[in-house]
Amino acid sequence: MKILAALSRVLPPVLAGAAVGLVLAPVSGLASNHWAYQEPGHMDFGQGDYVYNYDFREGSTWSKYKVDWPITFIAYNSATVNKLKTVMEQFAYDQAGGSMYGHVNDGPESSHYLIQDTDSGKKHDFCPGVGNETPHFRVYADGNDYLWQIGRGSYVVASTHRDVEECSSFKIFRDSEQVEGGIVTNLSNLYYVYHDRYAWGNPEPYRVQGRHIWDNNGYGSYVEMT
């Protein structure tokens, strides 16, 4: 309050009011954006394949300070990035969003290289304004549009969330768990699904950093495509 009182002495009243109205704090260190509850880990799919259990805002780092959302489901058996996106168009996921990065390793099929795959995903509404929102998923694989291994076939992994009032100054982001459930329910009309089947090491307790609402139970869903 001493700072605000000092501000009001040196600033015109309107500017002082603005300084009070905007409840700002300087950004410190690494935490200039939202960050995960724990360090990201590898989901070890066997046969040398692994995938990081979050997607990331940058392609070159994997710390918990650079995550965007948890990876929440896998589509397998005969899945590719384009096939999953095409299938989801019938559930109104026909618009693109902003891009993030998935970190995937296809084992021997990618010469054991870790790949940083970028994807903008699919959502219902390209630009939800005040009072509107849209679920949004992003799908990751390596350069040939899928990961592959014996017994699982071609597979892809995806993160989920919801953009709320994104094209307004009131935007917030939330619902990784609920959007996962919604997509799995959509896909259960077409395929066998296993909702929240195995622990993937990315539980996020309910809390809010800035405008990013975390809530994820840490269990990944499986979609057996045909």
The C-alpha atoms of residue 59 and residue 40 are separated, in whole angstroms, by 14
Residue 71 engages another protein in binding (rule: CB under 8 A): no
Residue 151's SS3 state is: coil
Residue 137 engages another protein in binding (rule: CB under 8 A): no
# of chain residues touching another protein (CB under 8 A): 111
Residue type, 40: P
Residue 139 Cβ vs another protein, minimum distance, rounded to whole Å: 14
Residue 220 Cβ vs another protein, minimum distance, rounded to whole Å: 7
Specify whether the CB–CB gap between 173 and 161 falls below 8 A.
yes
Residue 11 engages another protein in binding (rule: CB under 8 A): no
Residue 101 Cβ vs another protein, minimum distance, rounded to whole Å: 8
Residue 126 engages another protein in binding (rule: CB under 8 A): yes
Tokens of 82: 């384009």
For residue 33, give the DSSP letter. S
Name the maximum alpha-carbon separation found in the chain.
Answer: 72
Residue 127 Cβ vs another protein, minimum distance, rounded to whole Å: 4
Residue 106 engages another protein in binding (rule: CB under 8 A): no
* Span interacting with another protein, options 7-15, 79-87, 177-185, rule CB under 8 A: 177-185
Residue 175 engages another protein in binding (rule: CB under 8 A): yes
Residue 89 Cβ vs another protein, minimum distance, rounded to whole Å: 18
Which residue is listed with tokens 């009182």? 5
Residue 148 engages another protein in binding (rule: CB under 8 A): no
Residue 82 engages another protein in binding (rule: CB under 8 A): no
Residue 83 Cβ vs another protein, minimum distance, rounded to whole Å: 18
Residue 63 engages another protein in binding (rule: CB under 8 A): yes
The C-alpha atoms of residue 133 and residue 129 are separated, in whole angstroms, by 7
Query: How do 219-224 and 67-78 pair as beta strands?
Result: parallel
Strand partners, 215: none
Specify whether the CB–CB gap between 173 and 57 falls below 8 A.
no
Which of residues 59, 91, 92, 109 is near another protein by CB under 8 A? Answer: 59
Query: For residue 168, which of 134, 127, 196 has the smallest C-alpha distance?
Result: 127
Residue 98 engages another protein in binding (rule: CB under 8 A): yes
Nearer to another protein, 87 or 115 (CB): 115
Measured from the Cβ of residue 18, the count of other Cβ atoms closer than 10 Å reads 11
Residue type, 182: G
Q: Could you tell me which residues come within 8 angstroms of residue 150 by beta carbon, excluding any fewer than 6 positions away?
A: 47
Residue 103 engages another protein in binding (rule: CB under 8 A): yes
User: Which residues inside 25-54 make contact with another protein, applying CB under 8 A?
Assistant: 25-35, 37-46, 50, 52-53
Residue 113 engages another protein in binding (rule: CB under 8 A): yes
